[in-house]
Amino acid sequence: MSQTSRIVPLWTVQDVANYLQVPVQTLYSWRVQGYGPRVRRVGKHLRYRPEDVTTWLDQLDEGAA
């Protein structure tokens, strides 16, 4: 399998909380408020694409000038 066709695993809520160094409950609160990185429901689970999280984080820098 080539590098370009490698599947990147989705992140769990705990993964994103660890990455952003925020409590899990903060992510749930942000979701209710319509804030935070884009999240998807896979069955009964919430999952994040790593690129959505990093894109969202990068956009915070752009508006913080």
Q: Where are the domains of the chain?
A: 8-62
Over residues 2-57, the pLDDT tens digits come to 556 688 899 999 999 999 999 999 999 999 999 999 999 999 999 999 999 999 99
| H/E run at residue 45 | strand 45-47
CA-CA distance, 60 to 65, in Å (whole number)?
Answer: 10
64 CB neighbour count, 10 Å cutoff:
6
The pTM of the full predicted model, rounded to 2 decimals, is: 0.82
| Predicted confidence band of residue 65 (pLDDT cuts 50, 70, 90) | very low
Q: Other C-beta atoms within 10 Å of 42: how many?
A: 8
Domain range 8-62, CATH architecture? Orthogonal Bundle (1.10)
Question: Which DSSP letter does residue 41 get?
Answer: E
